[in-house]
Structure 1
Amino acid sequence: MKKLLLIEANGMVGGDLLDAARELGVEVHVATHEELYRDYRPELKEKIDGTVFTDLGNTETAVRDLLNFAREQGVDGVVTGWEFFSPLVTRLAGELGLPGHDPEKASAARNKRVMAQVFEAAGVPAPRTAVVATAAEAPGAVEWAGFEYPVVVKPCENAGSVGVSVVRSEEELAAAVEFAQGWPNEFPHGTPLETTVLIQEYIGGKEFSIETVVFEEKYHHLAITEKFTTDDATRAEVGHTVPAALDDAATEAVLATVEQGLAALGFRHGVAHTELKLLEDNTARIIEVGARPPGDHIVKLVQQATGVSEARAYIQAALGEHPDVLPTHRCAAAIRFLTPPSAGVFRAVENLPEGPATVATAVYVEPGKELARPQDNISRIGHFVLTADTAEEVNRLAADALAAVRIELA
């Protein structure tokens, strides 16, 4: 029986990876913090064959502990569902001689500052980027780069749209940089995050993500996902649809651009989640790439729409086995997230969708919880998932369902 090291199972994709490993007959050992493991849900613990505890907030300690463990146990592959640990996975796989991405470019697939440098050097279509360490540097950086407003300000190492702002004037710039620097450590593991800030040219167009399995440096694109975001000063993601309704020319442009980015970042074995903008002239610009499965239940949307389990394919690629990537059917699936209309005390959600098109509904918060003003993906209070024959149909159903939902605040 092959052995898999999963770095942190307690995330949105952790259960999917554990289920896929069980189906494949793979033994799974989970690396996490001991105190976090105590709070794992019982149904999650039941799927785990073994654990190794280390300090994931200290990269060198984690590398030492996990290398020793992997060698003692004879681990055959390393994966993660937690974005912050993708460089650790790449580094461990390289040290152990296991399938993975280019270890020399491990940080470039997580740190957006390094990623921007790699893209510029390789000529990958991406937003022009300036980097600042303080708010005082920002106006000069914008002028030096020749950017026009609006610009995008974002932390170089955070995730989930946290700290991201669209800035429309110089007067807003300092506050946006300070906002981006407001999370110096990842939660809950305490991993230190680089606090330099990216200022990027604003790219218009429509936003998509591409879910890719990489095996022996060959790219298997499972789906192009249409992304729905807020359009105010922040850019929280409020929904996704698989597949995106794109014509052949647009699809070709998107995938060609993705492959440029993955080649530049040294993707070899594993998965990639690429976020990009498609412009009206059918040219694309990569916003960022993650060396991990997508969050936001996109793994489930892809499986609902195509029959392909990205979690299963990821594990297979990490073990050096040819991944199962052929679709078994074609339909469409959509998720829409519920966010409060304002700050307030949560009371209830009413009129969640029901019926044959509804795959799942969820509410995350209990009545009486104090909710902050929504500004990022952490502000969500629930979601629903729908399915239909086509993207156009499922988007229409989702829009009707959202219009009917009522969120009550005190």
Structure 2
Amino acid sequence: MAHSALPTVLVVHGQGSATAWRVLSAARGLCRVVFLCEPGNPAYQAELAQIDGHAEIADTTGLGEEEVCRLAEGLRPAGVVTFSEYRLRTTAAVAEHCGLRHHSRATAAALTDKYRQRQMLSDAGVQHTACGLVRDPDEAAAALARVGTPAVLKPRHGAGSVDTCLITSADQLRTLLGEFATDGQREFVLEEFLPGDPTRTGPGWADFVSVESLVVDGEPRTAAISGKPPMVPPFRETGHVLPAPLAPGLAAEAEGLAQAAVRALGIRHGITHTEVKLTPHGPRIIEVNGRLGGLIAEIVQRRTGYDMVAAALRLALGLPVTEPAPARLHGDRVTFQYLLFPPTGPLRPGPPSLLDGLGDLPGVDLADLRPPAEWHTDWRRGTLGAIGTLYGSAADHTELRALLGRIGERMDRFWRAADTPGAGAPRPVDTVGNSIDVPTC
């Protein structure tokens, strides 16, 4: 347990980019951590059970926002932070109530509302992206007429590419809205598809990057720009690569655009994760996330030794932070994480030895595999559908591209298609922007 003389930082905990153990490790000697959360929440109940006796938990089960704020005030915090997309608004409310550094309520609302965020970026002159709200299948034709095709459909509130797909026709949009919005309450954003330019990163890499920023008193400082392996259809990210395979000039353009977006959204403190598409007309904002990106802390620390979770805690306390040092722990090697996704539809897996041997491939340091009890995946789950992650490094991007190719060949041999294919999925898009066919659930 942290020493009581240390300042208290409230961590509004939820499913997100830093586990409770990771937060406690980063807080050692820096602050006392109190987790504001619902201990019985199945999304992270098992995780919290692992820290039983090692952490303080303030139970917010059944409490409304005002009650959570009063509970937080009684803990006399010096800072508040969250690593969960789904807790940003509550964290902003606690910060305002207790007079702490964090996103304002208005900024948190924009960061968690994809439609409002597009409007604010357009109003600030950063980027106009044609988009509209749609909920009912009967609105499909009119919405698509305003945005055009192809378009991207995504939940107005959400993360991890859940229910995110390419739309090519009004009939397809009508069908998907009927499937997604079964209760008539969920709102979706339909926005123009941003075509990528595959020449910007070269063959074998996705046509987008993410810019990781530390924001101090409204000024963003770039901590890292991470590249990506090719996506899995429809729009599922498969990991991160440091450094990104970008020319210095293009990296500077992406960085400048991300910083302009951070300022336009009124972000004053904390860490941001901004996804930037590399189009034929230059970098374009996909979205700005107002918290540490998933898996980003791990790859940055493995590459540079810099602890972004500790940086988030320091920012919450108003303490000085530095950027990752130019000197790298691993020299000029390229560090990677690679998520494994099954094909969509019912599956019959191949010999387990094909999975067991992934960790023995040269360049793979760790194979963290979590095969499901039933071999079936649903593209609608987004990145939550991954069955594991590979961690490692390569001498350069060319060597890493060859390693990912070998991993792909091994996984292709592992999957065995079942006799009955699925039906009813959208036509997704590859990293170049072409519509492609995949099995569906």
The alignment's TM-score, normalised by the length of structure 1, stands at 0.87
CA contact (8 A) 1:229 1:235 kept: no
Partner Cα separation in structure 2 for residue 10 and residue 373 of structure 1: 19
Match of 1:100 in 2: 102
Which residue of structure 2 aligns with residue 34 of structure 1?
A: 39
Gaps of 5+ in 1: 185-193
Inter-CA distance 288–126: structure 2 relative to 1 (3 Å threshold): farther
Number of residue pairs matched by the alignment: 389
Question: Residue 11 and residue 151 in structure 1: after superposition, are their counterparts in 2 closer, same or farther (change >3 A)?
Answer: closer
Question: Are 2:303 and 1:305 equivalent residues in the alignment?
Answer: yes
Aligned match of 1:241 = 241
Shift, 1:3, TM fit? 0.7
The alpha-carbon distance between structure 1 residues 228 and 172, as it changes in their structure 2 partners (threshold 3 A), is farther
Q: What is the CA–CA distance in structure 1 between the aligned matches of 2:249 and 2:360, rounded to whole Å? A: 36
Q: Which residue number in structure 2 is paired with residue 84 of structure 1?
A: 86
Instruction: Tell me the residue number matched to 2:51.
Output: 44
Given the superposition, is the C-alpha separation of residues 383 and 326 from structure 1 closer, same or farther in structure 2, using an over 3 Å criterion?
closer
Shift of 1:67: 2.1
Partner of 1:318: 316
* Contact map agreement 2:214 2:271 (CA 8 A) in 1: yes
Counterpart position of 1:187: none
CA drift at 1:163: 0.7
Letter in 2 for 1:7: V
The one of 185, 189, 198 equivalent to 1:198 is 189
8 Å Cα contact 2:14/2:87 also seen in 1: no
Choose 158-167 or 4-13, whichever is displaced more. Answer: 4-13
Residues 225 and 243, structure 1, Cα contact 8 Å, conserved in 2:
yes
Counterpart residue number, 1:189: none
Change (3 A) 1:180 1:319: farther
11 and 326 in structure 1: CA distance in 2 versus 1, 3 angstrom threshold: closer
Partner of 1:271: 271
Partner of 2:22: 16
* Deviation for aligned residue 1:351: 2.9
Report the residue type matching 1:218 in the other structure: E
The AA in structure 1 aligned to 2:120 is: V
How many angstroms does 1:225 deviate by? 1.4
Matched residue, 1:191: none
Correspondence for 2:119: 117
Q: Is the 8 A contact 1:273 1:294 kept in 2?
A: yes
| Structure 1 Cα separation of the partners of residues 366 and 213 of structure 2 | 25
* Residue pairs, 1:1-400, within 5 angstroms: 1-8=6-13, 11-14=16-19, 15-22=21-28, 24-36=29-41, 39-40=46-47, 42-48=49-55, 50-55=56-61, 61-143=63-145, 145=146, 147-181=147-181, 195-205=186-196, 206-230=207-231, 232=233, 234-281=234-281, 283-295=282-294, 297-327=295-325, 328-329=327-328, 331-342=333-344, 343-344=346-347, 348=352, 349-354=355-360, 357-365=363-371, 368-375=373-380, 376-400=382-406
SS at match of 2:321: coil
Residues 26 and 99 of structure 1, relative CA distance in 2, 3 Å threshold? same
Write the distance in 2 (CA, Å) between the matches of 1:208 and 1:176.
Answer: 28
Q: Percent sequence identity over matched residues?
A: 24
SS in 1 for 2:100: coil
Q: Corresponding residue for 1:188?
A: none
**1:183–1:105 Cα change, 3 Å:** farther
- 3-state SS, counterpart of residue 228 of structure 2: strand
Question: Are residues 183 and 77 of structure 1, via their aligned partners in 2, closer, same or farther at CA, if it must alter by over 3 Å?
Answer: farther
Deviation at 1:183, TM superposition (A): 9.0
Change (3 A) 1:132 1:365: same
For structure 1, which segment, 247-256 or 89-98, has the greater mean C-alpha deviation from structure 2 after superposition?
A: 89-98
1:12 and 1:365 map into 2 onto residues whose CA distance is 21
Shift of 1:44: 3.0
User: Secondary structure at the residue paired with 1:321?
Assistant: coil
Task: Tell me the CA shift for residue 267 of structure 1.
Answer: 0.9
Inter-CA distance 356–77: structure 2 relative to 1 (3 Å threshold): farther
Paired AA for residue 337 in structure 2: I
Aligned: 1:403 with 2:423: no
Change (3 A) 1:239 1:38: closer
